[in-house]
Amino acid sequence: MGRFFKSSIGRKYAMALSAFFLMFFLLQHFAINILSVFSPDAFNEASHFMGTFWAVQYVLQPILIFGVVYHFVMGFILEAKNRGARVKKYAKNNGAANSSWMSRNMIYSGLAILAFLVLHFIDFWIPEINTKYIQGDMSGLLGDGDGFRYYEELVHKFVNPLRVGAYVAAFIFLSLHLMHGFSSAFQSAGATSMRKEKLQLFGKAYAILIPLGFIFIALFHHFNH
């Protein structure tokens, strides 16, 4: 087993597995965030549940953090190995001849997403952890009215047009990353050619609709605060 994950095929398999897990996370993250557009109360309740339920906090969250770090570290390792292999195999970069522009640029779209995550953590995650675990004061989660402050905080973050621009740009990179990532992950997971076409279609729809949905949320709050 250990040897399998150290082999190049094993690494690709593990990379695909972590990618599917992150895609699942993204879907549920979107499902909760889109509530903020339709019902601030529902968004507050869902956020509070996710932020305080023990299984989410102490089981799913550590798995998520591991998944994100693993995906990035393995991404860099695979990129470095591919570069090494390319230099050996071809006198010059194979270029567009046998790989798409996006597949060659996964590392750059990945880096853009990493930069976004740093900003995103500073915006949302760190203040949350600070209130809950460092100050240990759950009343810090309450808003100005009778409910929680998750909704107010979210809307407040999308006032600054620079931040909204940075988020939208990151979501475009996310779409490009997912577009190639999906088909590559299906390939590594060994999808058969019969199923492949439907899966590719689903992958393309996901890669466009989810980032578009996130863009919608950011713009909606920017123009409706």
Q: Which residues bind to ligand HEM, rule: CB under 6 A?
A: 26, 29, 33, 51, 61, 64, 68, 113, 120, 124-125, 128, 154, 174, 214, 217-218
Nearest approach in angstroms of CB 61 to ligand HEM is: 4
Nearest approach in angstroms of CB 193 to ligand HEM is: 30
Q: Which residue is nearest to ligand HEM (CB)?
A: 124
CB nearer ligand HEM, residue 155 or residue 191: 155
Nearest approach in angstroms of CB 117 to ligand HEM is: 6
Question: DSSP characters for the chain?
Answer: -HHHHHSHHHHHHHHHHHHHHHHHHHHHHHHHHHHHHH-HHHHHHHHHHHHH-HHIIIIIHHHHHHHHHHHHHHHHHHHHHHHHHHHHH-SS--GGGTS-HHHHTHHHHHHHHHHHHHHHIIIIIHHHHIIIIIS--GGGGB-SSSSBSHHHHHHHHTSSHHHHHHHHHHHHHHHHHHHHHHHHHHHHTT--HHHHHHHHHHHHHHHHHHHHHHHHHHHHHHHH-
Answer left, alpha or beta for residue 19, where phi above 0 means left and psi between -120 and 50 means alpha.
alpha
CB nearer ligand HEM, residue 26 or residue 107: 26
Nearest approach in angstroms of CB 74 to ligand HEM is: 17
Nearest approach in angstroms of CB 214 to ligand HEM is: 4
CB nearer ligand HEM, residue 177 or residue 199: 177
CB nearer ligand HEM, residue 77 or residue 126: 126
Nearest to 218 by CA among 59, 36, 58: 36
CB nearer ligand HEM, residue 10 or residue 116: 116
Nearest approach in angstroms of CB 139 to ligand HEM is: 16
CB nearer ligand HEM, residue 2 or residue 136: 136
